[in-house]
Structure formats: C-alpha cells, structure tokens
Structure 1
C-alpha cells in the first residue's frame, strides 16, 4: 500500500467517523425531544401545569458535553484507594480560604448573630461551606440547569434522580423563579450554596426580607439557606463538629468498630467507629488535643490517614456536614476551615 493510498484511507475513515458522530448526535437530539414529550404526563401527575410545560420544554436543549462530564466524574465508581487527607491539595486549598472567611464573618457579624439565634449554626461553618461550594460566591456555574437535568435524565443511567430534579426545577419556575435564573453546575446544583432544585424547594430561605429566596444574588438568602440546611440535618449548637485526639499505644480499634451496615455512602461511614460517649473515650485513654467536649457527648472515631496519624472524634454535627456532601474529604475540609475562620 502506497503512502498516498494509506493517507487517503485514513482521511476517509476520519470523515466517516465525523459524519457518524454527527448522525449519532442528531439521533440523540431527536430521542431527547421524544423523551420530553413522554415526560409531560409524569410531570403533570406531580403538579406541573400544562402552561408551565409549554413554556419550559421548548427551551430545553440536549447537551452532549454534560453526559461526557457525568460519565467521567462517576467512572471510578468509588472503588479506588482512599487518598491521603493531611497535606492534600484539598486540605491546603480549604485552609487557604480562612482569611477571606474571617473578613466576611466580621463584615456580616450582625447577620450571623441572627442566623445563629434562629438555627444554632455558627458563622465559621456556614462560611466554610460557602467557601468550599462556590469560593464565597465567586463561581456558581454557568450551565442551564433545566437543560442539564433534562439531558442527564434522558441519558438514563440515573433517570429517577435527574428526572425528579428536573420536575423540581419546573416547580421552581411555576412558583415564580425566573427561568433565566436557573443556572449552575453541569449536574444541576445552583446558586451560592449549590442547592439542587429539590433542596431549594425544601430548604431555601429568605434572609434579607424581600419576600423571595434568591440564592443566586442575595448573600443573606444564601447564608440563611445553608444554616437552615444544616439545622434540618441535625446540627446541634452546643457541640463542635469534632476534635483532634491522640490514641494510646496499642489502642484496640476492633473493640470500637462499627458493626452496622451503612445504608448510604458506605465507603464514608464504614470508616467511622460506633458511637461512644466522650467519658468512655477518655476511659480508653483517648486524649483530646487542644480542645475537649462534655462527658455525655456522643462521638465516633475517624482516622483519615490511618493508624499513627491524627485522629478525630466526630459529633452529630459532622454528620450534618456529610449530609451536605457525603465525603470525609469534604467534611474534614469544612470542619478544619471553619475552625480557622473562627480563630
């Protein structure tokens, strides 16, 4: 085969692949429109009016890039080795946000006092989540949330999840949230606190008294909403999220192992010990480092980087942070950042 002929074959194959990809995209787009029409009766059964459907559905666009990003993000399936937390880029990036967090805590002191009176959640924790989620509102995502959710629902791998969120987003429009405002991440998280539509409907709050929960433009609304989320997740104002501890030589980890099977986020919760009171931890020789908690406080033990590294006793408040994002990396970063902001 001559070089010229080989080049011609490659060129033809490239053109065919390109045309095939274009045909596949067109086919997917056509199937997308069919899916949206099939969605109508299911949405109506959940209270979405024909008028809302007629105003929203024509605006939805099939977004192939969203499917690609979702597959890449979930491709590992959470089965790889657990990375080291201490000294990680994530820990450093989180702690690096502390100066800006302290500045905002001082600027909004009156607002945070009101939030703490109502929900019991301190400024440091709220700002740590705000900083982690959107860099204190600096980046909230530019994706059209309705189109992204419709695309992910149509793709089908997690249709139940994304279709329910799509219908919740339609409910937001029906409730009066402007269509243009529904922008956020490729997966549908919106605004300064990065709420999914169903979370917005349940937990978003009006913090500035103007009659609407505008988590995109109002910092007061966003901060009240984050506090309300944590409060509803079981936050207790009389406890810290956790404290660092030192374990005694030869500590018997098997004796405190959790024997129950986690019903959600198994890789996260299987690393936690069973719940034990602070008094019992002390009796086992577990020594608080720097701070302590009352004898009757229930806590679980977590060693993020394994035996021989810093360990933590974690309270129900840590579980509330996990409810926001079920990742020990995330919750530890939020907890430590909140401590730095509150210093």
Structure 2
C-alpha cells in the first residue's frame, strides 16, 4: 500500500484556482483506486470541498522568513520552555519510558508538542480530507501532497480518521501535526488500546518519537546544530528557524 501511494500510476490534472475542483475529483478517484484505496476512501474524496482557507494559508506563510530571535519571540519560546519543564516534571515516568523505547529525549518531544499545538490546546479548525485534497489539486505542490492525500484516504479506509476529522490548514493531524502519509507510516499505538489515534497525546508523542528514530535518531547523541541528531530534526520541518527552535527549546527543557 505504501509503495502504491507514493507512486500513483495515473495523473489527474491540477489547477491554480478552485474552478475545476469538482471536475478533478473523479479523475483523482480513478488514481486513488489504482493506488489501492477502497470504497470508504473514495467516498470521502468525492465528499470533499475546495478549501479556500487552506489555499490562503499556503500562499501566506510568513513566519519562516523571520530571524531566529524573532521566530522564537513570535512562537512564544519562553512559555513553551516553562510549560515543557512543568509537563516533564509532572510526567517524568512517561517521558522516560518513551526515551527508553525510542531514544528521543523529552525536551525534543515537548518542544515539538509546544510548537505544533501549544501542547494539544489547538489542533486545528480545518477538515483534514478537504484540506489535503485541495493541496493535491493545487498545482503549487501537487506532487508533494498527492501521496499524503492518498494516505489520508487509506486512513479513512482503516477507520483511523473520518470524513469529519479536523486538523490544521495543510491537513496535519493531532497533537504534533502529522501529515497523513507520516501518520500512516510512523503512527504507533502508544497507549495499547488497539488503535492509533493522533488526537490522543500518548499515541501522538510515541509516534513522534518513532518518526524521529526511524529517520535516524541516535540515542544518547546531541541534537544541537553540528551534532548528529540535528540532521534528524531537519526531517521534522524543512524551515531552518523551526529546526533551530526545536533544538534550542529542547535543550532548555531538558536542562
């Protein structure tokens, strides 16, 4: 399934406006069927709407152009560090267990959790399937988002998400904002209840640690710039200031 999702055999057209979205959906449905998507996923795709909010957000990303100091200020780094330290102290055993299993220290996970959703306090307001389908349809980054859109449909087929699932403007899911393709590939059942739910904090943080470990995290080695694990932080987000912020806040949280 994962190989099929990353290399669809057909190619639906793309557009820079929403005018042909309804025409695009049946073409993409054929591509999705060829990739192994089942009836529930196809039905979810056909029920999507063009997300103007997603396109607006994608066209107006500004914070990644800030200097590091400005970025840290805008993202509330001091607050994230303070709350991250408190959360680590309150649930020390939980974070120790994750580090023991995956090798990723609490500071990194808490920095990501705080940056992405203010520790789960805001996980988005946009329909996940419509958002990711809109980005697949849009020509700007169709090649990147189409595999994630197919993964979202696969998650629908599995019952991991629904047509009503809400996430961020680019279709990111849960406490640490996994794109659907990463949720499908790296999601784990952290709390042992038999299902992967990234809106559950335990599943989300275990999945985040699993993502980093699978991307090459080396337990016990440093993660600041110039150290081995900083290259793995780059896998989480492509923006340099974001990578630097995770490393710096993580170090402060880990103390």
The aligned residue for residue 214 of structure 2 is 232
Runs ≥4 in structure 1, deviation > 3 angstroms? Answer: none
Whole-Å separation in 2 of the counterparts to 1:165 and 1:315: 30
**Structure ranking higher in strand proportion:** 1
- Whether contact under 8 Å (2:188, 2:206) holds in the other structure is yes
Which whole-Å CA distance do the structure 2 matches of 1:206 and 1:151 have between them?
29
Counterpart selection for 1:319 from 218, 231, 241: 231
Deviations 1:192-228 (A, max 9, x none): 1110000000101111110111111x11111101111
1:147 CA displacement = 0.6
What is the CA-CA distance between 1:341 and the residue it aligns to? 1.2
Q: Does residue 239 of structure 2 align to residue 342 of structure 1? A: no
Please give the alpha-carbon distance, in whole angstroms, between the structure 1 residues aligned to 2:189 and 2:164. Answer: 16
Structure 1 counterpart of 2:22, from 33, 45, 48: 33
Q: 1:66 to 1:89 in 2, by over 3 A?
A: closer
Q: 1:1-343 alignment to 2 at 5 Å? A: 28-29=18-19, 31-53=20-42, 55-73=43-61, 83-85=66-68, 87-91=69-73, 93-180=76-163, 182-216=165-199, 218-242=200-224, 314-343=226-255
Q: 1:332 to 1:138 in 2, by over 3 A?
A: same
Q: Take 1:47 and 1:160, find their aligned partners in 2: how far apart are those partners?
A: 18
Shift of 1:180: 4.6
Task: Assess if the C-alpha contact under 8 Å between 2:44 and 2:153 holds in 1.
Answer: yes
- The 1:333/1:28 distance shift into structure 2, 3 A limit, reads closer
Greater relative contact order structure (CA < 8 Å, 6+ sep): 2
**RMSD of the TM alignment (CA)?**
2.2
Scaled by the length of structure 2, the TM-score of the pair is 0.86
Task: Tell me the matched-pair count.
Answer: 238
* Worse overlay, 100-109 or 173-182: 173-182
Name the SS for the 1:174 alignment partner: helix
Higher helix share: 2
Secondary structure in structure 2 of the residue aligned to 1:96: helix
SS of residue paired to 1:314: coil
Contact preservation (8 Å) 1:91, 1:333:
no
- In the alignment, the residues of structure 2 paired with residue 181 and residue 321 of structure 1 have an alpha-carbon distance, to the nearest angstrom, of 31
Distance 1:116 1:160, change over 3 A: same
Distance 2:53 2:124 in 1: 14
Please say which structure displays the higher CA radius of gyration. 1
- 1: CA distance, partners of 2:222 / 2:164: 36
How far apart are residue 168 of structure 1 and its match? Answer: 0.7
Contact 1:95 1:333 in 2 (8 A): no
Name the TM-score, length of structure 1 as normaliser.
Answer: 0.65
User: Do the aligned residues in 1 keep the contact of 2:44 with 2:163 (CA within 8 Å)?
Assistant: no
C-alpha distance after superposition, 1:88-122 (max 9, x if no partner): 24257223311211111122211112111111111
